[in-house]
């Protein structure tokens, strides 16, 4: 949101899954996750309300 992007979100606590996105480029780590399965995380999904980039560039797909 600070970069002028309007991402989907609802709870902002890692509990609803509204902000789920797939990482296409880069890496991010989540503080909390109450929604995603280990399989989803393993295939690159994150909850953007709980994620912080750990790479210089991060590209996401909210429609994946």
Give the per-residue pLDDT at 53.
Answer: 96
The reported pTM is 0.86
Give the per-residue pLDDT at 3.
Answer: 66
List of residues 6+ apart from 28 with CB closer than 8 A: 46, 48, 51, 52, 53, 54, 55, 58
Give the per-residue pLDDT at 6.
Answer: 81
Residue 14 near residue 49 (C-beta atoms within 8 A)? yes
Low-confidence residues of the chain: pLDDT under 70: 1-3
Superfamily of domain 1-64: Beta-grasp domain (3.10.20.30)
Give the per-residue pLDDT at 47.
Answer: 97
């Amino acid at each position: 949101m600070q970069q002028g992007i309007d991402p989907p979100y609802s709870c902002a606590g890692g509990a609803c899954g509204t902000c789920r996105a797939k990482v296409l480029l880069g890496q991010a780590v989540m503080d909390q996750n109450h929604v995603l399965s280990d399989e989803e995380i393993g295939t690159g999904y994150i909850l953007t309300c709980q994620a912080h980039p750990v790479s210089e560039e991060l590209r996401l797909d909210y429609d994946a």
